[in-house]
Structure 1
Amino acid sequence: MLCENLNPTRRAFLGASGAMFTWAFMPKFAHAAQGRDPRFITIILRGALDGLTAVPPIGDPDYESLRQTDGIPFGGENSVLALDGFFALHPSMPNFQRMFQARQAAVVHACATPYRERSHFDGQDVLESGYTVPGHVESGWLNRLLEGLPAGERIAPGPSEPVRGLSVGSTAPLVIRGKAPVLGWAPSILRQADGDLAPRLADLYGKTDPLLLQLLKEGVETGRIAAGLDMKAKGGAGDPDGMEQMARGAARLLAQTDGPRVAALAFEGWDTHAQETQRLAKQLTGLDDALLAFQQELGPAWADTAIVVATEFGRTARINGTEGTDHGTATTAFLAGGAIRGGRVITDWPGLKDKQLFEGRDLAATTDLRAVIKGVAVDLLGADAVHLAEAVFPGSQGVTPMKGLIT
């Protein structure tokens, strides 16, 4: 199968790089669900994660024969990590396993968006826009969610407090693009500026352009909080070091008392047509380290945090001739955070026999990813179910918010 070139400029025109020209911090939610001060983070895995390798159903009698030359060893020093007996976890994710055991992480298996074709671009459009069909790239579901959150003290910000979300990376993911303004930040890949640059610019703008001076101050503060004095990106959004640093910087901003409360990140490089065993081990290490970075940097705010990790679709149940997998259907979503009622693999398992596979080749989808996101939005943020069905995920009136995901 010919794989499309994943070019982020097709779907994102709002740059989120650097912090020199950014918005101010966002006011915290005063009236979120259960009176808590929540953080909601969405991580998009672009390229289609193989959920059958990330969370292998080792209790299914048909799994090992499908993956006997691919994947995850069933013994030895690289053995899978335990979850619930039927499902295991890829050995590259020990931090997630620890969170799972502490009941602060969960897996949703055999899930998918409404999309049933196998184009990366179209699948990502559906995943991030929230519409049932591709082509809607004007705004993303997370931005529209921000627009409809309950009004209350400091929730409906005025002109001096415009920011309601955080976009992390060199370009803003479609999922967080829209009318609600966002703060943009990305780890620096440039040489560190001279220490006197910011003061000299401040002195210049203070005399000529007060508005630009304010934006400069906000940008410098954003960079200082997110990156620290010595943090510089070692890789991009498809590199394990880059994933960890993006998460660490985002968490530092989210942890601030007057910082943003909703964030979106996109990690690249999950298209494993060949040599999947080696490539996916590297990518899952990056994701696992990113989740740990959020836990470490958020501190006490971790208790009220929910992270949703999702991808555009899954991969074929069988391996191909290059020791990889091709574009498929259902996959795995990860949930993490102190607000998650974890320690569970949530699924209506469809089975892996030939007659149970979707179109005879893919893991069948039995859970709608929109139900998962809706459930988190309602119980963590106090989102309105009608707004979710009509505006956030248009046409999803028949998809009920999943209950019991939040503690």
Structure 2
Amino acid sequence: MNFRPHLPNRREALLGAGALFAWSQMPRLARAEGRDPRLLVIVLRGALDGLGAVAPVGDPDWIGLRGDRALVLDGKTPALPLDTFFALNPAMPNLHRLYKAQQACIVHATATPYRERSHFDGQDVLESGIARPGAVDSGWLNRALAALESDGQVDLRGSRALGVGAVTPLVVRGRAPVMSWVPQKLLPASDDVRARLMDLYQHTDPKLAAALDARIRLAALEPAATIDDPMSENVAQPPPGIARIRAYVAEVAGAAARFLAKPDGPRVGAAGFVGWDTHINEGAAAGQLANLLGALDGALAAIETNMGDAWRETVVAVITEFGRTARINGTDGTDHGTGTVAFLAGGALRGGRMVADWPGLKAAQLHEARDLKPTTDLRAVLKGLLRDHLRVEERLLASAVFPDSADVVPTAGLVG
């Protein structure tokens, strides 16, 4: 694994390091057009089950693939129809409303060039914009800003970067400066963070590792549906942990929107949310996935509300490192896969559309006979947004922002 963590300096540590990146000056071309565009990127860490989020209810093989766990239009908790073929998870009414108002698009069967199943490497490729993991220490969003600067379209004097969290995401690392914001309350450490700490302490401080392991084992004995087990399937009465997750995600998203909405504030940002690795008891209309999607839906509502009038010039892109297996596993979850979905929302979009070259769900049509086959390169979608929304030149997108992507044509027509 070639994951290289960013170690914050004292100033960064005091401020909290970053999941948001922004600058205060925008391309002169956009200004000349009378525009003041905003772009917010949300990274879902852990890999999103695209089939559980946006169900292909019109595919004749859908029910056979997932059986009684398949989202359907006439189920106990009906899916929300998007068109004659796709339906949205019922946990996302806000996104459905935006879609119907032509302020949201959904890209299905999409993926980065990465074809393995390591979260760390997959996130590296997703955020770096490079086809192989560990190739660079900068992110495509940071390099997009640098491309604008090198082309003379942006004045970086007074530029700012804003962050949330303890470690700056790779997508915003680079030569642009970073400052940070941290929410008053943080979520408990995820299983992924605990695993990383255990691995670190086992090599550096075995006594501390033993104590940490004992605490983790003790927590595992606590009753389900407590604050330490936020992903219970108790739908009628969500456990306290779900409320805390929803409040935290809404707080972070709302804070990002408030900064973006300021006349002299940031115009581009990125945020990351963990917890999407749903190997066990994933659920769809109920369970981990529904709870997570509900929190994300609340975040989109918070962004829309806090953007105010600036919402009409905003695009929010929700992306993840890869998808999950097409079939449910033996523990009612899904394992690491390939193709997934990307959500786009915002008043600047030409929305109300599915963007999909559907590959089908027959065994022969699945990637390696197990995953949804990706037919849309996620870089094409991101390049389309950067080109048409922020006016990054296409030649710089192929050479500097997403190197070695000359054959990846930017998706046109995503914004109005």
TM-score (norm 1): 0.81
SS in 2 for 1:167: coil
1:18–1:188 CA contact under 8 A, matched in 2: no
Q: Which of 181, 185, 188 is the matching residue for 2:184?
A: 188
* Residue 253 of structure 2 corresponds to residue 257 of structure 1: no
Question: Aligned in 2, Cα 1:291/1:101: closer, same or farther, shift over 3 Å?
Answer: same
Structure 2 CA distance for aligned equivalents of residues 391 and 351 of structure 1:
34
User: Match of 2:24, as an amino acid?
Assistant: P
2:325 maps to 316
Displacement of 1:119:
0.8
C-alpha deviation, 1:265, in angstroms? 0.2
* 1:334 match: secondary structure: strand
Instruction: Judge conservation of contact 1:113–1:312 (CA < 8 Å) in 2.
Output: yes
Q: Deviations over 1:142-182 (max 9, x none)?
A: 01011112679993223xx132x433333221111110113
> Take 2:305 and 2:111, find their aligned partners in 1: how far apart are those partners?
30
Matched, 1:244 2:250: yes
Task: List aligned pairs for 1:323-342, cutoff 5 A.
Answer: 323-342=332-351
Per the TM alignment, residue 282 of structure 1 is displaced from its structure 2 partner at its CA by 0.8
Q: In 2, distance between residues paired with 1:10 and 1:380?
A: 31
Is 2:282 the counterpart of 1:276?
Answer: yes
Alignment of structure 1 residues 51-70 onto 2, 5 Å: 51-70=50-69
2: distance between equivalents of 1:326 and 1:14? 33
Say if 2:95 is the partner of 1:96.
Answer: yes
- Please say if residues 172 and 184 of structure 1, whose CA atoms lie closer than 8 Å, have aligned partners that are also in contact: no
Q: 1:20 to 1:353 in 2, by over 3 A?
A: closer
Separation (CA, whole Å) in 2 of partners of 1:389 and 1:153: 18
- Aligned mates of 2:313, 2:408 — CA distance in 1: 25
The separation in 1 between residues aligned to 2:147 and 2:22, in whole angstroms, is 19
The AA in structure 2 aligned to 1:380 is H
Please state whether the residue corresponding to 2:407 is helix, strand or coil.
coil
Unaligned runs of 5+ in 2: 187-239
**Cα-to-partner distance string for 1:340-392 (whole Å, 9 max, x where unaligned):** 11101101000000110011111111000000000000111110111111111
Structure 1: unaligned runs, 5 residues or longer: 191-233
**Contact 1:17/1:186 (CA < 8 Å) preserved in 2?**
no
Is 1:394 the counterpart of 2:403? The answer is: yes
Cα distance change, pair 14–75 in 1 and its aligned pair in 2 (3 A): farther
Q: Which moved more, 1:252-261 or 1:143-152?
A: 143-152
The question of whether the paired residues in 2 share the 8 Å contact of 1:144 and 1:178 is answered with yes
* Mapped contact 2:281–2:288 kept (Cα < 8 A): yes
CA–CA distance in structure 2, aligned partners of residues 279 and 117 of structure 1: 24
Shift of 1:245: 0.8
Cα deviation 1:32-82 (Å, max 9, x = unaligned): 444410111110000000000000000001111111143435434511111
SS at match of 1:376: helix
- Structure 2 matches for 1:224-235, cutoff 5 A? none
| Distance (Å, rounded) in 1 between the aligned partners of 2:248 and 2:87 | 26
How many Å apart are 1:396 and its aligned residue?
Answer: 0.5
Partner of 2:191 in structure 1?
none
Partner AA of 2:259 in structure 1: L
How far apart, in 2, do the equivalents of 1:385 and 1:154 lie? 14
State the alpha-carbon separation in 2 of the partners of residues 108 and 309 from structure 1. Answer: 10
CA distance in 2, matches of 1:242, 1:166: 17
Is contact 1:255-1:298 (8 Å) kept?
yes
* Equivalent-residue separation in structure 2 for 1:146 and 1:122 (angstroms): 24
CA distances 1:180-223 after superposition (whole Å, capped 9, x unpaired): 11332121128xxxxxxxxxxxxxxxxxxxxxxxxxxxxxxxxx
Percent of counterpart pairs with the same letter?
52
> What is the identity, as a one-letter code, of the residue corresponding to 1:178?
G
**Alignment equivalent of 1:290, drawn from 299, 310, 314:** 299
After superposition, the C-alpha distances for 1:275-318 in whole angstroms (9 at most, x for unaligned) are 00100011101110111111000001100001111000001111
Q: Verify the 8 A CA contact 1:149 1:381 in the aligned structure 2.
A: no
Aligned to 2:386, the other structure's residue is in SS state helix
Q: Given the alignment, which residue of 25, 28, 35 partners 2:25? A: 28
Q: Is this contact kept in 2: 1:25–1:258, CA < 8 A?
A: no
The 1:18–1:90 alpha-carbon spacing in structure 2 relative to 1, beyond 3 Å, is farther
Matched residue of 1:276: which SS? coil
Q: Distance in 1 between matches of 2:141 and 2:115?
A: 22
Distance 1:293 1:32 in 2: 30
Q: Assess, with a 3 A threshold, how the Cα gap between structure 1 residues 297 and 88 changes in structure 2: closer, same or farther.
A: same
Q: State the alpha-carbon separation in 2 of the partners of residues 21 and 301 from structure 1.
A: 26
| Aligned residue in 2 for 1:349 | 358
- Name the residue aligned to 1:199: none
- CA–CA distance in 1 between the matches of 2:415 and 2:315? 8
Determine the structure 2 residue equivalent to 1:177: 173
1:39 and 2:35 are equivalent in the alignment: no
Once the two structures are superposed, what CA deviation does each residue of 1:252-285 show, in whole Å capped at 9, x if it has no partner? 1111111010101001000111100100011101
User: For residue 361 of structure 1, what is the aligned residue in structure 2?
Assistant: 370
CA 235–30 in structure 1, closer or farther in 2 if over 3 Å, else same: farther
Query: What is the CA–CA distance in structure 2 between the aligned matches of 1:73 and 1:264, rounded to whole Å?
Result: 33
Q: Counterpart amino acid of 2:279?
A: H
